[in-house]
C-alpha cells in the first residue's frame, strides 16, 4: 500500500512539473513573417526581420497603424543576430511562422552556404518558407506596404504561390530543395528573383496602401542561377517556365503562338509530363527532352473557325514549335552564359548510367556546356473554349 502511495505521489509530482513551463502569453510575443539578409557595413551580415502587428491585420481591430515592424541588426552570424532584436523590440520574436527569406544579390554572389546552415539547423524554423533573391537591398523588400495582406512578406508569399500555379514564374524552391540541389553532383540550384519597382522609401509608408497606383511594389522579376554555391547571374522570367517544364514541375501556363500575319493565338496548357534521357555519345552528353501536354485554345486573333480536326492539328503544330524552341533557348542560355546545369541533367545521367557519370562528375558543368540537346514537344488540344467560331470571322466577312 505504501509503495502504491509513493508511486502515485511521484506520478502526481511529475505531472505538476511537466506543465507549460515555457509558455508565453500572446501579448508577450511577436510573429516574424519575413527575414532579409544583406551584407553589413560594420559586420559580415545585416539581418532584417519583419514582425507582425496582429491588431492591424484584422479589419475589425485595425486603427490605421503600421501592419508590421521592420528592424535590422548587423553581426557575424545569423544565430547571434536573431537573439538580439530585443534591443529594439519589447516582445519576444517567434520565427516558427516565417513565410519569407530574402537574400540580397550581393550576399548571394559571395555564397550562401554558411548562413543557410543556421536556417536549416534551427528547430524553430519550418521548412516551407520561400527563399528569394533581391535585386538591390533585401531589407527594402520587407518594407513595402500593400492593400492585400498589408505586410510585405504576407503579400509576397501568396503572390509567389499563385504565379507558380497559374503561369509558372517561380521555381518553387524551398530550403530543403535548395540544400539538396547544392549537394547534388549533377544539379545546381535556382531561386526566383524579386525587385522593388518604384521608390522604396515611399513604399514603406501607410500612404502606399491607400493609393490606386502604389509608389512602390515588389515584382517577381527573373530567375537567379547558381554555380558552386554562388549566384552567377539571372535569366528572364519566361525562362522559369521552361525550367519547370524540363524538371516536370509545371502545373499550368498560357502560351502565345504566332499563327499568321503577325496575329497570335493563346493556348492554355493544364497538364504536362516530361521525360529526359541523357547518354554519352561522341565524347559529350547527348540530352533528349520529350514533353507531352494537354490544353485548350483560350483565344485567337487568327480568324479561324475551330470546327475541324485539320484546324486543331494546325494549332497543335504551331504550339509544339513555339514551346520546343522556347525550352531549347533556355537550355542553351544555361550552357553558354552560365555553364551551370540547373536542370539536373547530370543527376539524371547518374541515375541512368552511373558508371559513366562517375568518370565525368568532377567536370560535369563543363561537359554540360558542350552537350548536344534535342527537345521535342507534343500537345493535344482538347477543345476551343465555348466557341467554335470567333466573332472576328464575322467581322472580317463584313469588311
Whether 182 and 296 map to the same domain: the answer is: no
Does position 21 have pLDDT exceeding 90, yes or no?
Answer: no
Final residue belonging to a domain, choices 236, 265, 298: 236
Could you tell me the CATH number of the domain that includes residue 376?
3.30.300.210
Biggest distance spanned by C-alpha atoms of the chain = 105
Whether 105 and 216 map to the same domain: the answer is: yes
Tally the domains of the chain. Answer: 2
Closest CA to 372 of 307, 277, 297: 277
In a domain, 15, yes or no: no
In a domain, 7, yes or no: no
Whether 227 and 329 map to the same domain: the answer is: no
Each residue's pLDDT tens digit, 219-230: 999 999 999 999
In a domain, 380, yes or no: yes
In a domain, 9, yes or no: no
In the chain, alpha helices (H): 2-17, 54-57, 78-81, 105-110, 113-121, 138-141, 152-166, 175-183, 200-203, 207-210, 237-246, 309-333, 345-352, 354-360, 364-369, 391-398
Whether 280 and 368 map to the same domain: the answer is: yes
Q: In whole angstroms, give the CA distance from residue 33 to residue 35.
A: 7
Whether 292 and 218 map to the same domain: the answer is: no
Grid coordinates in use for 50? 519583419
Query: Sign of torsion, CA 216 220 221 225?
Result: positive
Each residue's pLDDT tens digit, 44-69: 999 999 999 988 888 778 888 899 99
Q: In whole angstroms, give the CA distance from residue 347 to residue 328.
A: 19
Final residue belonging to a domain, choices 175, 209, 236: 236
Higher pLDDT among residues 323 and 299, named by residue: 323
The boundaries of the domain holding residue 63 are: 26-236
Based on its alpha-carbon atoms, the radius of gyration of the chain, rounded to whole angstroms, reads 26
pTM of the model: 0.90
263-287 b/e (C-beta count within 10 Å ≥ 16 → b): eebebbbeebebebebebeeeebeb
Whether 57 and 31 map to the same domain: the answer is: yes
Whether 340 and 213 map to the same domain: the answer is: no
Does position 398 have pLDDT exceeding 50, yes or no?
Answer: no
Whether 263 and 225 map to the same domain: the answer is: no
Whether 256 and 232 map to the same domain: the answer is: no
Whether 225 and 153 map to the same domain: the answer is: yes
Mean pLDDT of 325-344: 98
Cβ neighbours of residue 25 under 8 Å, at least 6 residues apart? none
E strand map for 209-262: 216-227, 230-236, 253-260
Amino acid at each position: 500500500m505504501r509503495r502504491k502511495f509513493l508511486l502515485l505521489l511521484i506520478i502526481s509530482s511529475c505531472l505538476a512539473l511537466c506543465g507549460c513551463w515555457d509558455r508565453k502569453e500572446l501579448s508577450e510575443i511577436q510573429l516574424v513573417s519575413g527575414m532579409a539578409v544583406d551584407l553589413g557595413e560594420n559586420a559580415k551580415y545585416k539581418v532584417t526581420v519583419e514582425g507582425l502587428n496582429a491588431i492591424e491585420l484584422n479589419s475589425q481591430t485595425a486603427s490605421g497603424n503600421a501592419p508590421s515592424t521592420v528592424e535590422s541588426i548587423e553581426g557575424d552570424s545569423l544565430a547571434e543576430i536573431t537573439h538580439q532584436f530585443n534591443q529594439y523590440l519589447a516582445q519576444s520574436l517567434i520565427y516558427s511562422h516565417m513565410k519569407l527569406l530574402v537574400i540580397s544579390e550581393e550576399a548571394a554572389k559571395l555564397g550562401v552556404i554558411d548562413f543557410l546552415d543556421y536556417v536549416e539547423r534551427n528547430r524553430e524554423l519550418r521548412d516551407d518558407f520561400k527563399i528569394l533573391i533581391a535585386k538591390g537591398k533585401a531589407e527594402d523588400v520587407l518594407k513595402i506596404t500593400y492593400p492585400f495582406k498589408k505586410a510585405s512578406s504576407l503579400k509576397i508569399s501568396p503572390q509567389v504561390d499563385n504565379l507558380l500555379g497559374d503561369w509558372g514564374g517561380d521555381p518553387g524552391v524551398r530550403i530543403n530543395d535548395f540544400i539538396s540541389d547544392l549537394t547534388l553532383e549533377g544539379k545546381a540550384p535556382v531561386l526566383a528573383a524579386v525587385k522593388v519597382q518604384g521608390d522604396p522609401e515611399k513604399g514603406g509608408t501607410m500612404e502606399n496602401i491607400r493609393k490606386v497606383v502604389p509608389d512602390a511594389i515588389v515584382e517577381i522579376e527573373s530567375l537567379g542561377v547558381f554555380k558552386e554555391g554562388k549566384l552567377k547571374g539571372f535569366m528572364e522570367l519566361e525562362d522559369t517556365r521552361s525550367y519547370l517544364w524540363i524538371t516536370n514541375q509545371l502545373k499550368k501556363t498560357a502560351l502565345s503562338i504566332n499563327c499568321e500575319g503577325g496575329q497570335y493565338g493563346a493556348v492554355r496548357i493544364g497538364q504536362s509530363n516530361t521525360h529526359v534521357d541523357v547518354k554519352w555519345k561522341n565524347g559529350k552528353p547527348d540530352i533528349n527532352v520529350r514533353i507531352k501536354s494537354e490544353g485548350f485554345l483560350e483565344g485567337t486573333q487568327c480568324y479561324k473557325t475551330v470546327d475541324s480536326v485539320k484546324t486543331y492539328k494546325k494549332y497543335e503544330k504551331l504550339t509544339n514549335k513555339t514551346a520546343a524552341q522556347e525550352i531549347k533557348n533556355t537550355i542553351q542560355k544555361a550552357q553558354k552564359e552560365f555553364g551551370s546545369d540547373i536542370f539536373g541533367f547530370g543527376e539524371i545521367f547518374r541515375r541512368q548510367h552511373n558508371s559513366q557519370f562517375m568518370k565525368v562528375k568532377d567536370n560535369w558543368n563543363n561537359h554540360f556546356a558542350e552537350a548536344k540537346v534535342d527537345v521535342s514537344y507534343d500537345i493535344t488540344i482538347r477543345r476551343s473554349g465555348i466557341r467554335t467560331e470567333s466573332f472576328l470571322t464575322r467581322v472580317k466577312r463584313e469588311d
